[in-house]
Structure 1
Amino acid sequence: MSRQEKSIVRSLMVSLRDLYCGTSKKLSVSRNVICSKCSCSGCKGSGVKLVKVYYYGLVVQPCNECRGTGERETMSNNCCPGCKGDKVVQEKKIVEVHVEQGMKNGQMITFPGEGNQAPKTDSGDIVVVLVQWSHPKFQRMGDNLAVEHTLSLTEALSGFQFALTHLDGRKFLIETNPVEIVKPDSYKTVNDEGMPVHKKPDMKGKLEDLRNEEIKIKQAQAPEVYDEDDYMHRAAEMCSQQ
């Protein structure tokens, strides 16, 4: 089994929106490739020559100029001007990275055989690692999304509604029942508004248990400090006054 060159690993910064909607990005990667000018001039890199032999006609024999290697000799007087005898030269490779819907932070995308080259070895791979930068509003938790919304005491006691702009630009309404009292650090779940499931984007509407967006309700603290019993007592007083 022939040896393979080590993989080239590069990071690609993506946004949460990129992972939600999907996108394509181009990435420039430096790699070593076999020198195209380094082939033996006698056999054109094949390592063999056709030699006419009396009685036998044309016979395949190892090239006597490169000793069957197919490569230019590395002696100083015959050194390849392209690679100076290193057998490889460096070039820039542009790879187009397709970021699919639902991919995750740290997920790897491999380009087989697109990495470093060297004589008598298999080409290495290029491995792109997705690195997601934090979003100012949404936090990803697996296939779920969470967004924090701070309420006033009045909103917590008498209901609330607010318009939320999603990662794809859609706006939808988040609201509670007016008679519902919202406790601090509680959650409201909206089905089918989480992250797409990778490789299953058409199942978005069906995976309600996996496709949730959690709306975290955080109570806006009043200047004074009060406990939970006091909170519920004040809630009852405000409701009786309405």
Structure 2
Amino acid sequence: MVKDTKYYDILEVTPQAGENDLKKAYRKLALKYHPDKNPAAGDKFKEISHAYEVLSDPQKREIYDRHGEEGLLGDGSGGMSGMNAEDIFSQFFGGSMFGGGSNRGHTGPRKGKDLVHSLKVSLEDLYKGKTSKLALQKNVMCSKCDGRGGREGAVKQCGTCNGTGHKTVTRQMGPMIQRFQTICPECNGEGEQIRDKDRCKECKGKKTTSERKVLSVYIDRGMKEGQKIVFSGEGDQGPNIIPGDVIFVLEQKEHHSFKRRDDDLYTVLKIDLITSLAGGKVFLQHLDDRYLEINILPGECIKPGEIKVVEGQGMPSYRHHDHGNLYIRFEVEFPAPHFVTDPSDFSILERILPPRVEQRIPSNAITEEVIINDVDPMQEARAEGAAKGGRGTNGMAEDCDDDNAPPGVSCAHQ
């Protein structure tokens, strides 16, 4: 029966925990609460290190089990004295506790590389929000050998480089002497040596194995292109390494109907000529599959290219409750040629529509009557380009270089 379980509770183990259990618990908690990764957890990190220092020493552990923290005060191990927390961490992950050298030119563990992935998302995903399950392969410390690379006691410090992983080479070039460092050829820069027969069968002495990890990536409503979703500490593990982060960078796929600018949406809606003149209802399918009912008033006369706004129907604002606006550019579809079969019907249009604009030319002008014909699509494209000064055929896209104008969008059919 132990007198005090405080140190065991700190490491989240039972008083019956063995040496390997303590190592696994320390590795897990030290990586989680290291100040480089969790700046606010400095005191917690020191507690974990001190608890491991006491319980990993058989003599100190026996005293602690019998007398609690008070029993350690006599040998200077009570309270938060003893080894520096960073020294314990550096030795543990640097390999000295498993037979390797701790003096490798590092003052402590280095942070591993971040793993950055591009995540393609639809505009619907950004509008409604979505959770995706994504699998990736990562390196983790070998569980069979506890990251030693071999059986306990078999990992030895390299005698050639004294565990530093490099050698200093001196070379004389004429009257000058040049000194430089190279990777130790005996240990390939590892600072350790393991005989082949002693290597771990699981990791082949590499200390890490590959593991498939599934992450739940939550795409919040209103997120934008280029925004990052970070999973701290989910990068590759390795000796003397604080795992880096896994970062997903959002890449928005092009949408066939809507364009986005900040929290505003832009789209094109086609309506027929009679609706633009006499009014009526038209419907627009939104990103969440709702149909917006748009009422055009009789006589409102929606002109081709006219832009209207529906307030509050744009993108949701990220982590806010409001929405941007929805801008609609109307395309008015004219009837097919010769849609009137009775010529007398034109007189009805003449009475309803505004009067013709009178054409005035100089009295002495020379006139010549010509015939207009249909052109093929290629000729039409060239003609439109020339009419617009060579700016292309996408009128809306080309006319929207001004920051106050909507961007080019494709059509959403009625």
| TM-score normalised by L of structure 1 | 0.73
Give the alignment partner of residue 144 of structure 2, picking from 37, 57, 66: 37
CA offset digits 1:48-85 (Å, max 9, x no partner): xxxxxxxxxxxxxxxx654589xx95321211111112
Q: Identify, as 1 or 2, the structure richer in helix.
A: 2
2:319 to 184, 199, 205: 199
Instruction: Please say if 1:218 is aligned against 2:331.
Output: yes
Following superposition, the deviation at residue 135 of structure 1 comes to: 2.6
Q: Offset at 1:111?
A: 0.3
Give yes or no for the alignment of 1:12 onto 2:119. yes
How far apart are the structure 1 equivalents of 2:296 and 2:149? Answer: 80
1:208 alignment partner in structure 2:
none
Alignment CA distance shift 1:171-1:151 (3 Å): closer
Moved over 6 A (4+): 41-44
User: When the two structures are aligned, how many residues end up with a matched partner?
Assistant: 204
Q: Which has the higher strand share?
A: 1
CA distance in 1, matches of 2:149, 2:216: 36
* Equivalence map 1:1-242=2 (5 Å): 2-39=109-146, 40=148, 65-66=154-155, 74-200=194-320, 202-204=321-323, 211-220=324-333, 238-240=352-354
CA distance in 1 between counterparts of 2:238 and 2:113 reads 11
Give the Cα–Cα distance (whole angstroms) in 1 for the partners of residues 249 and 116 of structure 2.
Answer: 7
What letter is aligned with 2:116? V
Contact 2:283–2:291 (Cα < 8 Å) also in 1? yes
SS of 2:216's partner is strand
Query: In percent, how many aligned pairs have the same letter?
Result: 35
Q: Which has the higher contact order (CA 8 A, sep 6+)?
A: 1
Unaligned runs of 5+ in 2: 1-107, 158-162, 164-191, 338-348, 356-414
In structure 2, what is the Cα distance between the partners aligned to 1:146 and 1:41? 58
CA distance in 2, matches of 1:219, 1:30: 53
Equivalent residue letter for 1:37: K
Decide whether the 8 Å contact of 2:312 with 2:322 is kept in 1. no
Shift of 1:41: 10
Hey, what's the Cα distance between the residues in 2 that align with 1:41 and 1:86? 6
Say which one has the larger Rg. 2
Asked if 1 retains the 8 angstrom alpha-carbon contact of 2:270 and 2:330, the reply is yes
Question: 1:96-130, CA deviations, whole angstroms, 9 ceiling, x for partnerless residues?
Answer: 00110101122210101001111101101101122
C-alpha distance in 1 between matches for 2:124 and 2:286: 9
CA distance in 1, matches of 2:122, 2:194: 49
Counterpart-to-counterpart distance in 1, 2:232 and 2:150 = 33
> Following TM superposition, by how much is the alpha carbon of 1:43 offset from its aligned partner in structure 2, in angstroms?
9.4
CA distance in 2, matches of 1:67, 1:4: 25
Measured at CA, do residues 33 and 42 of structure 1 come closer, stay the same or move farther in structure 2, by a change above 3 Å? closer
Displacement of 1:214: 0.6
CA contact (8 A) 1:108 1:130 kept: yes
Contact 2:123 2:252 in 1 (8 A): yes
CA distance in 1, matches of 2:241, 2:309: 54
TM-score by length of 2: 0.44
Task: Write the distance in 1 (CA, Å) between the matches of 2:306 and 2:194.
Answer: 73
Query: What RMSD over aligned residues (CA atoms) do the two structures have, in Å?
Result: 3.0
Shift of 1:37: 2.1
